[in-house]
Structure formats: C-alpha cells, structure tokens
Structure 1
Amino acid sequence: MIKNYLKIAFRNLLKHKLHTGINLVGLSLGLGVSILIFFFVQFESSFDDFHENSDLIFRVERHEKGEEGMISSFSTPIITAPTFAAEFPQVTHTTRLIGSSAQAYLDESTTQTQQFLTVSPDFLEIFSFNLLEGKKDQALQDKFGVVITEETAKKYFGNENPMGKSIRIQMGDNYEEYQVTGLLEDLPANSSIKFEMLVNDANLDFSVAKRNQESWFNVYGDTYIKLNDAQSKATIEAGVEAMMKKVLGEDYKEGEYSFTLQPISEIHLTDNPDSGMAESTRPTLLWILAGIAFLILLIACINFTTMAIGRSTTRAKEVGVRKTMGAEFGQLVFQFLTEAFLITIAALVLGMILSEVLLPTFNELFDKKLDLVYGSMQILILFGLVVAITAMAGAYPAFFMSSLRPIKVLKGNLSIRFGKQGLRKGLVAFQFFISFMLIASTLIMVHQMNAIRNYDLGFDQEMIVLVDVPDVPGTNFRKTISASFAQAEIYRQALMGRSEILSAGITIATYGDDSFWDGGFPTPDEKQFDFRLNFIGGEYVKTLGLELAQGRDLNPQVGADSNAVLINETFAKAMGWDDPLGEMLPSNKIQSHEIVGVLKDFNHNSLYREIEPVILAKSPDVIFSGINTLMIHSATNPKVMVKGAGTDFEAFRALLESEWERVFPMEAFSYNFLDETVQKQYVADERLGKMVFLAACIAILIAAMGLFAMAALSIAGRTKEIGIRKVLGASSWSISWMFNKEFLVITLVGVVVALPLSLYFMQGWLEQFAVKEWPSWVNFLVLATGGVAFTIAVISAQSYRATQMNPVKTLKDE
C-alpha cells in the first residue's frame, strides 16, 4: 500500500516539474538558513550545561546604592569569596576569577603578552573543564603552579608533554618561574568562561596591595560559589544583609550594599551590557533570528499551499475518479501528505548541504565557531522541522482536496476558484507582508548604522594607532600608573623625533569600548556626584583633535600641570558652572587642583549611551585623593596614541615597530586602530542588520517564485477566457492589466500593512541608541514603488506570453 502511495506521489511530482521545482527550491533555501539558525539558537542555549551539578554553581552579583539608585555589577571585592565561605555553611567551594596579563618568555630571547585568569584552588572543583594531566584537588594549590590548555601548551612546548616544565612570567618587578601542574583539554565552544592559563590567586600579592585585598570598596573580577543544595540560594541571599552589617561595622548603611546570586545557566543569555568576565549573547538576538527562520519557512510553506490550491482543477478530477473507485477520505489525505513529505525530505537533504556551504559565512558573520554536529538534539530539531513543514504545507491542501464531492467534480461544475480564492490571495498577500516587513526593517537598520558610522563623535579617528605599552606590575596603584606613564613617555618621545608623526599622546582609556573609568565623590550637600575618568599624557588633546570651549590644554611636558584637570561641557552643566575655570571640584577631600580647560562634549562612550561628565587628568593623585568610588573598566597600563602624517600605513606601521624594538627590544609589539576600536561596539547590531538583509533577500526570492507560479496557474486556468477576449477585440494591454489589477491589490495590501508594523517593531530596536535617526519617508515610498514595479514586471511577463497565443488553439476544443 505504502509503495503505491510513493509511486503515485513520485509520478505527480515529476509530472508538474515547475511547481515541484519551485517548492523544492523555496523549501531548500528556507531549511538551509533555518537549520543554521535553529542549531545556532540551540548552541547558544546550551552554554555552560557541560558542568556537572551546574544547578549548584552561582556567580555573585554586587549591588551598591548610587546617585541614581542601585548600581549592579559582577565585579566584586577580592574578600567576597572567603567571606561567603566563612559565613555560609551552605557554600562548599568558592573561587575568584580575575583577568590579568603579563609578559612571559616564549623562548630564551622572545617575550609575549600572556593572558591568564587568577583563580582560587577550588576552581577545578567547581567547573567541569576536562583535566588531561594533573589532579583537580592539587593542580592549583601551589602559588607557582599553572594550569594551561592544550593550545597554550603547543605555543610554549610544541608537541612535548608540558607537565613539570617551566614558564617564566613577569610578576611584580621580576620574572618568576612557574611550573605546569595541570593540562586542560581545549575549552568547550559553549563555555562562557574563556582562558588560556590559570594562576593561583596567591599571586595577587604581586599586583594588589593587602589593604585593597581586604577592602569591600575595591572590586576586581568575578566571584563564583558552589552550594550544597540549589535551594540554599534563597537562604544565603536572605542572610547577606546580616553578613554585610557584620563585616562593614561602622561603614554599614542599611540597604546600600548587598549581594545576590546568579545561576550559571543565566550568565550567557543576558541583555545586561555588563556581563562581567563571561562571554554573553543577548537573548533578543536569538528570538529575532528564530523569528526570521520561522518567517522564511512560513513563506516557503505558503508557496506550497497556494500552488496546491491553484492546481485544484487538475487534481479535482483525480480525486473524483479515485473516490468513485472506492478510495476513502483518509487514504486520499495520506496520499497528499505523502507528496508533501517527499518534497520536504528532498528539501531537507538539499537544505543540509546548503547549511554546510553557508556555515563558514555564518561563523564569520557572528564571530562564532558553530559546528553542524548531528547529535540527538539536532536530529530531534530536524525531525520537528520535517513534521512541522509537512503539516503546514500539506495539511490544508490534503484535507481540502480529499473532501471534494465526486459528483460535482465529474460533472465539471468545479471552477478553479472553489470558493477559496480569498484564502489564496490572503496567503500571497501575507508573503508580501513578510517580505516587505523584512526589507523595511533592513532599510531602517542600514540607515541607523550609517548614521552611527558617519556621526561626528567630537574627535578625530583617522590614521590614529593605539600601541600597547608593557605592563609595570606593582601593588601601589598610583605608583604603577605613574611608572607605566613614564615608560610610555620614552616611546612617545622617540616617535616625536620622526617627521612622519604629526602628534602622539598617552591614554589609559580608549573610545567606544566603555573603557573610561567610573569615579564619584560626595558633594558638600551629601549627594553623590558620578563622572567618567581618564588619565592622559603627551599631546592627547591635539592627537584626537578635541576642541576647547574654554581655557587651555594640559602642558605635555613631564611633571607640568600635575595638579591640573580638564572637564567637558556636560560636567560644567551638571555642576551649574558658567565659568568653570574659576571653580573647584566640590569634594572636601580632593587635594589642591585647578580646572584649566573645558572641552567641547565628545562621545567618550559608544552611541548607545548619552555623554556623561568627564574629567581628564595627568596625575592620579589629584583625583584619587577625593573620590569614594572607583570602577576600572580597562587595563592600568596606558597606550600611546599616535597620529601619522601620511596615508601609507605599511610604512607607518614599520616606523612604529622599529622605534618599539629600539626602546623595548625584549617586548612584543602590538597595536590596533582607533577607528576599529570605535566600530567594535556596534558589531552585534551590524551583524544583525546583515542577517536581516540576507533573510529579506531569501524571502523576496521565495515570494517571487511563488508569485511567478501563482500568476502562471491563474493565467493557465483562464486561457479560454483570454482567447474569447482577443476574438472580441481586447488588446494585449487590457488583458495584461486585468491580471495585474488582481495581484497589485495583493501587493499593496502587503505593503500597507508591513510598513507601519516594521516602524513599530524597529522603534524598540532604535531605543537602545542615544543617537538615532529614522530614514526619510522618501525611502519608504521608493521601497513601496519598487514592490509594485516588481509585481507588475512578473505578472506582465506572464500575461504577455498568454496574450500572444493563437485564440484558435485555445478555443478549438469547444
């Protein structure tokens, strides 16, 4: 029986090659993109689920009261981990995660910057990273022991076994010997915690003063804890207030400083821009991508349904004959569903091939390492897609066709309309609605990102290179910054002697990467004033092309203007100053200082955020003496900011590197471009825009094939009417317009509904930007006109062919 169903299904599909081909191509495109997206969504949703007892692992979140309410962050004091372990018996393990870097000897004569995580000995007991060599409970016990990944081991030791071998790493003023005590398998792609090397947190003594390690108001990295029972989370959070009252003593103020616990399962998928040290993805991105995949599949399924309804006249006689011969309703339904199933299976195979072809492009677009591995979960997703598509595309035609009455069909009283013309038109209109909504959304996103790209940030980005200066480790924060600036000044002076260099400055923070530090001080009226902070040197203002609204620039000479600061216009407005040059920062503890200049507002952050009050200073002593809060968003070692005089970048880079080798012969040279740093903040939305654009192109292609097929079916069912009209004197233009009217109404309905809805949905996306710009109404008018013109072109081409047929051939059988 099933064999016969398959034979008949194959014959019907081969008989109608055009419609089968359109359905196959449409579904294949839809499935190819959807497989990538659904697998990507499943991959992103699986982050950190490889850890054993992951329901017992939590990250500590800090909450501190500020001027505008509670401020939350995953950066926590170093003392958090041991305090939680001591105060709560429900805590079985704790670890700090503090990202650091230091110079390390790659071989006897070459050093490189080595990134590593400073962690507690419990790290490998909490997380289930696969330890290939060494013991979990011992690998991180030694202060001078390190655990490295396979990739890092190959970098230092090639194919040799690294266990017991040494790596020389600069800690403090000296290079220390660290022995490899553990070898980890390269980290899973779905781990939100990334690292190359693990170092015992006893090494914090080299970089953090003892008082800062014990302070509740200095934060460094993340803190993770593991509980004996998941239900203990509520108990611990309820006891945090009492713990803070105990440890803060006289500094305790009710409700102003507390902690909560975040399950590890919630770390990766978050809309919070502050994701700590963990790699994160916005869940809204996954919802948008999943929605795009669903819409593309829906358009392909609509093609299948509308063409099946359009072929009803041909298939109706088949149904009538088979029912007369004794076929039952269920058998006919099964027959039609079998055809839908065969097309879906064939499309799935082609879609899987297409997804493999598109995978490198997809990974490059989203900066991921997605691999299409067909495990049980992936097979379940594919099975679900096949069932869903077969049901969506084949169910209605199957039940509709199978319910036809034989006597009505065989008498020839059944027209192509079947009373279902409205449904068919509605489905085609819905296709156009989806397509135009995606196109309009793409238009809005492209226009916004172009506006961001061309926006005047208030500083110069062109031909400016940021050169990383080697770390100067130390436990005294101020001395470390001063020493690193002195080191950067040596390199800056070497560059300033070259004619190819226009100017060079020194900076702790860069732009567009949220690296300006957060600071705050209490005002005399007992309010908290928060601002953004950067330490600078050299010709910083000149190099960036910042404009002064009042006053003067800082003196670039070393030692000059050590008590001077610059502020921006927003800072002056927030303070209510008309003449800031005669004012003092309103903090009782800030040492003698002088506001020497007011800079015109510039975008120190990305354009997602408004401009905030900013202080620029040469010396940390002036600012640190009076602030009560400090949040560090970047490394403490500065960068030399260099502006070249020409346009030959290769010669410019060679010059920078040659001077570097002369000043720092043992250090690795690394650099990046300022404009690239600025643009990195918008990468996620740029990628989303490209994805929506590709989805719109695919949707248009599928909808165009559907329109072509429906026009062909509609015209094929009315060839005799066309012949009669021609005999009676109708022109080709009037016949073409008769068909165009029908489909133009469908197109206009789709456009009229799609445009306002796309504006509504995209308004939520635009709200994330502090600077936003809508496209002109002319753009939307051009878009609508293009859609109408496209429909006219497709329908006119089809109808013109029909009007060129000889009426004698179409009417001779009457």
Structure 2
Amino acid sequence: MIFNYLITALRAFKQQKQHFLLNVIGLSVGLAAAILVALFAKNELSYDAHQPHAERIYRVAQDYSKLGLGVIPIFNYNQGVRAAEQSQVEEVFALKMVEFTREAEVDVKYNNQGFKLNNLYASTANIENFIDIKTLAGDLKEAMNTPESLALSESEVLRIFGRINVVGETLNHAKGKYTIRAVFADLPENTHFGFKALVYADNDPKDLMMTAHYVYLRVGAGTDIKALEKQLTEQTYTGEFKGQMFVELHALLDLHLTAKSPFEMKSGGTKQVVSICIGLSVLLILIASFNFINMTVAQSAKRAKEVGVRKALGASKGQLVAQFLSESVLVSVLSMTIACVLVELILPSFNNLVDRDLALNYVSSFGGAIVIIAISVGVLAGLYPAFFISSFSAKRVLSGDLQRGSTAIWVRKSLLTFQASLSIGLIIGSVTLLQQLSHLQNLPLGYQTNQRLVISDVPVRDVFTQQPSAVFNQLSAINGVQHVGIIDTQLTRSINNTLKPTWPNGEKSSGLTPIIGSSYEVIKSLGLELLAGRDFSAQYASDWASRTNGVTYVGAIITETVAKQAGYTNMADIIGKTIKDTGRNVDMRVVGVVADVKVGNADNSNSNIMFLLGFSYFNPTSEVVLTVNPQNIFTIRQQAAEILAQHANVFEPNINLLSDSYAAILKGDERTSHVVLIFTCLAVFLTCLGTFGLASSAAARRQKEVAVRKVLGASRISIVNILAKEFLVLVGVSIAIAYPVTYWVIAEWLANFNDRVEQLWWVYMSAALLVAGITWLTVSSLAFKAASARPSLILRYE
C-alpha cells in the first residue's frame, strides 16, 4: 500500500511540475532559513550552561543609578567573602582585572622577544568549582595558590612557545618573572568568561574599597535572591552611600544576553536578537506551510476528476486522505533534504554575519528536531488540503460541477492576509533598524573620531607626566603625527572615576560626576568644541594637579551639562570658579567649558564630564591619542609599537583608529539589522509564492467570467484590475493588522536606546505600498495571461 502511495505521488509530481517545484522551493527555503536562525538562537541560549552548578551561580554587581551612573559588574572581593557569612551563600569565587589595574605585568619577554599576555586575570584558587576548565598540563589549583605563578591557555602557549609542554618555563617582566605552572584548554565560545591567562591573586584582606573583581556566589537551592540582595546591600553600603548604592545578583545563565556593561570580559548578545530569531524561525516555517496549503488547494481543481474516478472505483475517504498526506510528507522530507544542503552552503557566510562559529550536528537532538519538524510540517500543512480534496463528490465532479463552498477560499485568503501582515511588519522593522543604526553612527559625540589613532593601556608612569617624557617626545617625532594627547579613559568604553562635586554656590550635587584625567591641550587632542574659556596649556603650569596641605588643586574643563548642573546658563560665568569635592579634598578651578561629550556606548553613555589636568585617580594606564595624517597610519603604527617596546617595555600594543573603535561597539546592532533584513526579504519572497498560488486559483476559478467580459468588450487592463482588486482588499486588511502591532513592538525595542529615532509615517506607508505593489504585479502577471486567452476556447462547451 505504501509503495502504491509513493508511485502515485511521483506520478502526481510529474504531471504537476510547476506546483511541485513551487512547493519544494518554498518549503526548502523556509526550512533552511528557519534552521539557520534556530541554530543561532540555540547557541545564544547555551552560554555557560555547561558550568558546574550553573543554575545556582550569580555574579555580584553594583547599581549606581541613583548617583547618575549605571550598573557595574565589578565588586570588592573581600566584600564578596563577607557575603559567605550569609547562610544562603555556599562559596565565593573571583577574577581580578589585573590587565586593567596593572597590578600584574602584562608585558613579558621570552628569549628576548616581547609578548603581551592577552586577557590576563588574577583568579582565586577555587576556579575549577565554578568554571568547567580542562587542564592540559600542570596543576591549575597549585598555580593559583602560588605567588608569581601563571597559567596559560593552549592558544597563548602556542603563540609564545610553539608547544604545549611548558610547565616550569619562565617569562620575564619589568618587576620580576612568572613561572608557568599550568596550561588549560581554550575556553569554548559559548561562555561569557574571556580570560586567556591567569595569574596568582595577591589579595589584602583589609582592603574593602578597591572594586576590581568579578565576584561570583554559589547559593543554596531555593535561595530568595531578592532577599539576599537586600542583605548584601545593607552589609556593604553604610554612611553617605546608604540608600544610594545597591547590590544586584545576576544569574550566570543570563549574563550573555542581559549584561550590557562596558566592563564585560566579552561582548554579549541580546534578548531581543534571540527573540527575533526564534520568532523569525517560527514565522518562516508558518509562511512556508501556508504557501503549501494555498498552492495545494489552488491546484485541487486539476485533481478533482482523479478523485472522482477513484471514488467511483471504490476508494474510501481515508485512503484518499492517506494518499494526499503521503504526497505532502514526501514533499516536506525532500524539502528538508534540500534545506540541509542549503544550510551547509550558507553556514560559513552566516557565521561571518553573526560573528559565531555555528555547526549543524545531524546526530543530535537538534538534528532529530529538524526531522520531526519537517514531517510535522508535511502532515499539518497537508491535512487541510487532503481533507478538502478527498471530500469532492464523485457525482458532482464527473458531471462537470466543480463548485465548492466558500470555506476553502476563506481559509486561503486568511492565510495570505496573515503573510502580508508579517511582510509589512518585517519591512517596517528592517527599515527602522537601519535608521537607528545610521543614527547611532552619526551621533554628535562631542569629540572627533577621524584622524585619531589611539594607543590603549600605556602605563601612566611612561606618558602621563607634567614634563614631556621620552615616550611622549618619541611619539611626537614620528612623521605624520600632528599632535599627541593623553587621557586616562577609553572614550568608547566607560568612565573609570567620579567625584561628588560641591558647586561654586555651595550647593552639593545629588549624584556623582564622571572625571577624565588628561594632559595639556585636551581640546585640541580630541577635537572638542570650546564654548568658553581656554584649553589646558603648558603656559599655565599651575593648572596641573598638585597636592598642598592635604588639598589637591587642579585645573578643570567641564562640559556644558556640568555648567548647567552648577546653575550657569551663560558658560562664561563659571570660568574661574572653583568646584570642590569635600570628601576627597579636591579643588577644581574651571578654565574652560566645552560642548557635551558622549563617553561610552550607545546604550550607556555619560555627557556630564569634567576633564582634570594631570589628575589620574587610581588609573594605572592611559590612552595616547595621536592626531595623524591618514596616509601614514601604517608606518605610524609600526614606529609607535617599536617606541613603546624600547622605552616602556610595552609589547604588542593595542593601536586603533578611534573611528574604528566607535564602529565596533555598534557591530551587534549592525548584525541584527542585517539578519532581519535578509530574512525579511525571504519572508516577502515566500509571501509572493503564496500570492501566486492563490492568484492562480482565482484566475482558474474565474476563467468563464473573464471570457464573458472580453466578449462584452472589456479591455485586458480592466480585467486585470478586477481580478487584482480582491487581493488588494486583502492587503488593506493586512495593513490594518500590521500597523498597530508593529508600532508597539518597535517602540519597545527603541526604548532600549538613550538616543533613538522616531517612527516615521513614510516608512509605514512605503512598506504598505511595496507589499501592495508586489501583490499587484504577481496577480497581474497571472490575470493578464488569463485575460489574453481566446474566449472561444473557454466558452466552447457552454
């Protein structure tokens, strides 16, 4: 019986080549796209799920929102140890940002060749209780328990030594040497941890102030996280910060998708992108299934006589249903096979687009899900056409009466309306995504990104000096370098330090104000817009930070926002006034006011900034900003690297154009827009297939009407418009459905940005006109063919 069904299905495919090819193309494209986005979503949701006790591990963060800042995932390790006093906390683990704090040396030498230890962190010895890490050589726990010890990842070991067995080898640095005591396998991609080198953590148990650790707590099952957060907040913050700062606990399994701080070890994903991908995956399968239903039902008239003859010969309805279901499942399985081939061909390009290393394992639960979904699509999409076709009356069919009730037409129109609504919504979403990305890329940052070459993480002692250092002079002498400036903050990352100002009128600020330590001529160096006063200049040497009788006196350049917070609308009025931080005994005399500067990324930026001359509070590293001739960038990079290696023992420095660094922080949104744009085009394509199927059915159903109209003198264009009218009405209904839903979804997404575009009416209008135009062209091509047929051929039996 099954063999007979198969033979009959193959004959039907041969006789209806166009219908068969359209179904296979639609299903295979829809399934391939769905597999790709589902594979990406599965990978995003798998981050850190393999870690020991992952569901019970939380990272400690500090909420500075009431002080005008954001949530920072950095905490004090000793405060974290105190958290273990709570009965709910079973164990505490920490990684220290030594590369950022420079408490351990990152620049080393081996055989007189310099290297930089990438992503170096200090770890507590219980790392293996929190991270699934494979040790390839040595003893990781011993390494993290022994001073001057180092553990390197496999890739770092191969980069430096060219071999794995290096336990016992030493690396020299400016303050001594490291002994390598362990080698561990590279961390998998699906983890938020981003270290490649680990060093022994030298911790002072009395230090309760330095916040430079990622602190992780493993809590007991059933712990009330909100109650624990409250307890830790009360334990940590007393005095003036009580009620102003709060402890937050972020679940390890959520970090990849929810953590947005610029201090993350690795850039993460977003919930919105995963939700979009899951939604697209489901919608593409639905659209492909709807196309299958539409086109199968549209072809039902051509198989009506076959059904009538088989019924007359004794075939039961169950046998006919089984026959047509077997055909739909066969089409679905064939489409699945083609879809998998397409996935393998497209996957390298898709990986490049989403910046992931995805692979499809067919012998897995995901592979099994593909087979189940493909068969389910075949069965579910084929059920209605199977019951519809098998319900034909043999008597009515064989007598030439093919008229059916309105149910089939209503179902097909409803499905097409839903598809058109999705297409309109996706087009609007894609255009808005691109507009938002363009808006972020062209935001007035307050500083110039062009022609600025930035050398990151240069030790303060080598460049941040009142008198030009040897490194400063050497960099200034490079051909093509027009100016050299120093700041202690990465402009595209976040503010490192803050002060709590008391304004010149004696009023205290309710929040913290970010500060940036700088060298002379910071306005010229960053291309700031001067509104009042002057730039820092060596002619005013007294502006450089100095300590006298316990008070730090320093010159300040403030942004317009700070001046307004101090109560000044005329920027010139605050020049010469003093802003104080009474807690740290800092007197800041304002010498200039500049237009607002946005420091940070698009989601989290500060514009109320104070630049302080020669004041670098707790910052061990600085950023050297070179204003350069673009034609000389390659040679400038080479010479700058040589100078830093010779005069500062800094190897493999991170040297980037400031414009590239800013573009990099928008990469995630750019990838999202590209993914949505590509799959929007696929959704529109599949909708066109559905429209084609329904239009072909309508053209066949109304052939006699078309012939009569031609006999009565109707033109081809008028007939085309009459046939297209019913589809344009469906598009109108689709617009009414798509507009409010799309507006709400996009508004929710845009709310995540501090700076965002408005939803524009012409985008909505253009999407509707585009879908309507595509629908009209698709229908018109078929209607024109029907209107071109000779009436005599259609009416000759009437």
TM-score, normalization by structure 2 = 0.89
Instruction: Give the residue type in structure 2 aligned to 1:163.
Output: V
- Equivalent-residue separation in structure 2 for 1:531 and 1:276 (angstroms): 22
Q: Is the 8 A contact 2:137 2:165 kept in 1?
A: no
Instruction: Show the counterpart of 1:230.
Output: 221
Instruction: Give the residue type in structure 1 aligned to 2:658.
Output: L
- Counting only pairs closer than 5 Å after superposition, residues 22-37 of structure 1 correspond to structure 2 as 22-37=22-37
Which of 566, 572, 579 is matched with 1:575 structurally?
566
Q: Is the 8 A contact 1:104 1:114 kept in 2?
A: no
In the TM superposition, what whole-angstrom CA distance separates every residue of 1:764-786 from its partner, at most 9, and x where no partner exists?
22222232223653444444333
Instruction: Show the counterpart of 2:94.
Output: 96
Secondary structure of the structure 1 residue equivalent to 2:535: coil
Which of 556, 581, 597 is matched with 1:587 structurally?
581
Secondary structure of the structure 1 residue equivalent to 2:333: helix
- Equivalent-residue separation in structure 1 for 2:489 and 2:153 (angstroms): 30
In the TM superposition, what whole-angstrom CA distance separates every residue of 1:141-176 from its partner, at most 9, and x where no partner exists?
2123222222122112213522232233x3xx5131
Which of 414, 435, 441 is matched with 2:429 structurally?
441
In the TM superposition, what whole-angstrom CA distance separates every residue of 1:583-636 from its partner, at most 9, and x where no partner exists?
322432433431111111122233435653211012327xx5xxxxxxx9xx74
Instruction: Show the counterpart of 1:450.
Output: 438
Cα distance, 1:197 vs structure 2: 1.3
- Counting only pairs closer than 5 Å after superposition, residues 331-342 of structure 1 correspond to structure 2 as 331-342=319-330
- Equivalent-residue separation in structure 1 for 2:374 and 2:64 (angstroms): 51
Instruction: Show the counterpart of 1:772.
Output: 756
Instruction: Show the counterpart of 1:502.
Output: 482
Instruction: Show the counterpart of 2:532.
Output: 550
Instruction: Show the counterpart of 2:158.
Output: 154
- Closer, same or farther: CA 450–263 of 1 in aligned 2, 3 Å: closer
Instruction: Show the counterpart of 2:102.
Output: none
In the TM superposition, what whole-angstrom CA distance separates every residue of 1:691-750 from its partner, at most 9, and x where no partner exists?
111011111111222223332333234334433433343322222222222222223333
> Are residues 1:614 and 2:606 paired?
no
Cα distance, 1:81 vs structure 2: 3.9
Instruction: Give the residue type in structure 1 aligned to 2:778.
Output: V
Instruction: Show the counterpart of 2:522.
Output: 540
- Equivalent-residue separation in structure 2 for 1:489 and 1:755 (angstroms): 62
- Equivalent-residue separation in structure 2 for 1:645 and 1:46 (angstroms): 45
- Closer, same or farther: CA 699–813 of 1 in aligned 2, 3 Å: same
Instruction: Show the counterpart of 1:476.
Output: none
Instruction: Give the residue type in structure 2 aligned to 1:80.
Output: Q
> Are residues 1:144 and 2:162 paired?
no
Cα distance, 1:581 vs structure 2: 1.7
Cα distance, 1:678 vs structure 2: 1.5
> Are residues 1:744 and 2:736 paired?
no
Which of 468, 483, 492 is matched with 1:512 structurally?
492
Cα distance, 1:191 vs structure 2: 1.8
Secondary structure of the structure 2 residue equivalent to 1:529: coil
Cα distance, 1:391 vs structure 2: 4.3
- Equivalent-residue separation in structure 2 for 1:440 and 1:521 (angstroms): 46
Cα distance, 1:286 vs structure 2: 0.6
- Equivalent-residue separation in structure 2 for 1:274 and 1:698 (angstroms): 35
> Are residues 1:283 and 2:271 paired?
yes
Instruction: Show the counterpart of 1:174.
Output: 175
Instruction: Show the counterpart of 1:760.
Output: 744
Greater alpha carbon shift after TM alignment, 783-792 vs 283-292:
783-792
Instruction: Show the counterpart of 1:733.
Output: 717
Q: Is the 8 A contact 2:724 2:779 kept in 1?
A: yes
- Equivalent-residue separation in structure 2 for 1:487 and 1:230 (angstroms): 58
- Equivalent-residue separation in structure 2 for 1:561 and 1:20 (angstroms): 80
Instruction: Show the counterpart of 2:21.
Output: 21
In the TM superposition, what whole-angstrom CA distance separates every residue of 1:226-277 from its partner, at most 9, and x where no partner exists?
35x4235669928945x965x88x8598666664544422332326547744
- Equivalent-residue separation in structure 2 for 1:539 and 1:384 (angstroms): 66
Instruction: Show the counterpart of 2:447.
Output: 459
Cα distance, 1:465 vs structure 2: 0.8
- Closer, same or farther: CA 23–324 of 1 in aligned 2, 3 Å: same
Instruction: Give the residue type in structure 1 aligned to 2:518.
Output: I
Instruction: Give the residue type in structure 2 aligned to 1:60.
Output: V
- Closer, same or farther: CA 554–257 of 1 in aligned 2, 3 Å: closer
- Equivalent-residue separation in structure 2 for 1:598 and 1:762 (angstroms): 38
Instruction: Give the residue type in structure 1 aligned to 2:537.
Output: N
- Equivalent-residue separation in structure 2 for 1:66 and 1:558 (angstroms): 37
Instruction: Show the counterpart of 2:674.
Output: 690
Instruction: Give the residue type in structure 1 aligned to 2:252.
Output: I
- Equivalent-residue separation in structure 2 for 1:512 and 1:235 (angstroms): 33
- Equivalent-residue separation in structure 1 for 2:321 and 2:696 (angstroms): 26
Cα distance, 1:571 vs structure 2: 0.6
Q: Is the 8 A contact 1:568 1:601 kept in 2?
A: yes
Q: Is the 8 A contact 2:71 2:261 kept in 1?
A: no
Instruction: Give the residue type in structure 2 aligned to 1:225.
Output: L
Instruction: Show the counterpart of 2:125.
Output: 121
- Equivalent-residue separation in structure 1 for 2:331 and 2:434 (angstroms): 36
Q: Is the 8 A contact 1:310 1:416 kept in 2?
A: no
- Closer, same or farther: CA 63–481 of 1 in aligned 2, 3 Å: farther
- Equivalent-residue separation in structure 2 for 1:636 and 1:666 (angstroms): 14
Instruction: Give the residue type in structure 2 aligned to 1:509.
Output: T
Secondary structure of the structure 1 residue equivalent to 2:48: coil
> Are residues 1:131 and 2:115 paired?
no
Instruction: Show the counterpart of 2:81.
Output: 82
Secondary structure of the structure 1 residue equivalent to 2:344: helix
- Equivalent-residue separation in structure 2 for 1:409 and 1:147 (angstroms): 80
Q: Is the 8 A contact 2:262 2:493 kept in 1?
A: no
Q: Is the 8 A contact 1:107 1:156 kept in 2?
A: no
- Equivalent-residue separation in structure 1 for 2:119 and 2:476 (angstroms): 31
Cα distance, 1:679 vs structure 2: 2.0
Greater alpha carbon shift after TM alignment, 232-241 vs 689-698:
232-241
Instruction: Show the counterpart of 1:216.
Output: 208
- Equivalent-residue separation in structure 1 for 2:225 and 2:426 (angstroms): 44
Cα distance, 1:347 vs structure 2: 1.3
Greater alpha carbon shift after TM alignment, 513-522 vs 5-14:
513-522
Instruction: Show the counterpart of 1:344.
Output: 332
Aligned pairs, how many?
777
Instruction: Give the residue type in structure 1 aligned to 2:609.
Output: V
- Equivalent-residue separation in structure 1 for 2:483 and 2:240 (angstroms): 49
Greater alpha carbon shift after TM alignment, 780-789 vs 679-688:
780-789
Q: Is the 8 A contact 1:103 1:111 kept in 2?
A: yes
Which of 371, 379, 384 is matched with 2:367 structurally?
379
Which of 629, 640, 643 is matched with 2:627 structurally?
643
- Equivalent-residue separation in structure 2 for 1:238 and 1:736 (angstroms): 68
% same residue = 25
Q: Is the 8 A contact 1:57 1:225 kept in 2?
A: yes
Instruction: Give the residue type in structure 2 aligned to 1:192.
Output: H
What RMSD in Å do the two structures reach over aligned CA positions?
Answer: 3.2
Greater alpha carbon shift after TM alignment, 7-16 vs 515-524:
515-524
Instruction: Give the residue type in structure 1 aligned to 2:586.
Output: Q
In the TM superposition, what whole-angstrom CA distance separates every residue of 1:292-338 from its partner, at most 9, and x where no partner exists?
12222222111111112212222333333333444333333332222
- Equivalent-residue separation in structure 1 for 2:499 and 2:391 (angstroms): 74
Instruction: Give the residue type in structure 1 aligned to 2:582.
Output: N
Which of 585, 603, 619 is matched with 2:598 structurally?
603
In the TM superposition, what whole-angstrom CA distance separates every residue of 1:521-558 from its partner, at most 9, and x where no partner exists?
57866764311211111432113221111111111579
Secondary structure of the structure 1 residue equivalent to 2:151: strand
Q: Is the 8 A contact 2:520 2:613 kept in 1?
A: no
Secondary structure of the structure 1 residue equivalent to 2:727: helix
Secondary structure of the structure 1 residue equivalent to 2:578: coil
Instruction: Give the residue type in structure 2 aligned to 1:768.
Output: N
- Equivalent-residue separation in structure 2 for 1:598 and 1:756 (angstroms): 45
Instruction: Give the residue type in structure 2 aligned to 1:40.
Output: F
Q: Is the 8 A contact 1:565 1:618 kept in 2?
A: yes
Cα distance, 1:445 vs structure 2: 1.5
Instruction: Give the residue type in structure 2 aligned to 1:17.
Output: K
In the TM superposition, what whole-angstrom CA distance separates every residue of 1:450-492 from its partner, at most 9, and x where no partner exists?
2222233222211211023543xxxxxxxx5686557985333
- Equivalent-residue separation in structure 1 for 2:469 and 2:276 (angstroms): 48
Cα distance, 1:441 vs structure 2: 1.2
